[in-house]
Amino acid sequence: MKMNIAVLPGDGIGPEVVEQALKVTKAVCEKFSHELTYEKALVGACAIDEFGDPYPEKTHELCMKSDAVLFGALGSPKYDNDPTATIRPEQGLLAMRKKLGLYANVRPVSIFPSLIERSPLRTELVRDVDFICIRELTGGLYFGRPQGRSEDGNSAVDTCAYSRTEIERILKVAFEYAGKRRKKLTVVDKANVLETSRLWRQIAKEMAPGYPDIEVEYLFVDNAAMRLIQWPSSFDVIVTENMFGDILTDEASVISGSMGLLPSASVGLYTSLFEPIHGSYPQAAGKNIANPLATVLSAAMMFEYAFGLMKEGALIRKAVAASMEAGFVTEDIAMDGQKARTTNEVGDWLVTYIKG
> Does the annotation count 250 as an active-site position?
yes
Site string for Mn ion, 245-274 (x = CB under 5 A): -x----------------------------
- Binding to ligand IPM, residues 276-335 (CB under 6 A): 277
Query: Which residues is 216 bridged to in the sheet?
Result: 185
Cross-sheet strand order for the sheet of 272-276: 35-40, 2-10, 68-73, 272-276, 263-267, 104-110, 130-136, 237-240, 184-189, 215-220
- Binding to ligand IPM, residues 227-246 (CB under 6 A): 246
CB of 279 to ligand IPM, least distance (A): 6
Q: Which of 130, 158, 246, 348 is catalytic?
A: 246
Which of residues 265 and 277 has its CB atom nearest to ligand IPM in the complex? 277
Query: Which residues is 1 bridged to in the sheet?
Result: none
216 and 276 Cβ atoms separated by less than 8 Å: no
Please tell me what DSSP assigns to residue 4: E
Regarding 93 and contact with ligand IPM (CB under 6 A), the answer is yes
Residue ranges of E strands in the chain: 2-10, 35-40, 68-73, 104-110, 130-136, 144-149, 156-159, 184-189, 215-220, 237-240, 263-267, 272-276
Q: Which of 177, 190, 236, 332 is catalytic?
A: 190
Q: Is 292 helix (H, G, I), strand (E, B) or coil?
A: coil
- Binding to ligand IPM, residues 42-81 (CB under 6 A): 75
> Does the annotation count 130 as an active-site position?
no
> Does the annotation count 49 as an active-site position?
no
CA 241 to mean position of chain CA atoms:
14
> Does the annotation count 190 as an active-site position?
yes
Q: Which of 82, 205, 222, 311 is catalytic?
A: 222
Q: Which span sits near Mn ion by CB under 5 A: 189-197, 209-217, 238-246, 318-326? A: 238-246
Regarding 90 and contact with ligand IPM (CB under 6 A), the answer is yes
Please tell me what DSSP assigns to residue 41: -
Which of residues 67 and 246 has its CB atom nearest to ligand IPM in the complex? 246
Task: Return the amino acid letter for 246.
Answer: D
Enzyme catalytic residues: 142, 190, 222, 246, 250
Q: Which residues bind ligand IPM (CB under 6 A)?
A: 75, 90, 93, 246, 277
Binding site for Mn ion (CB under 5 A): 246
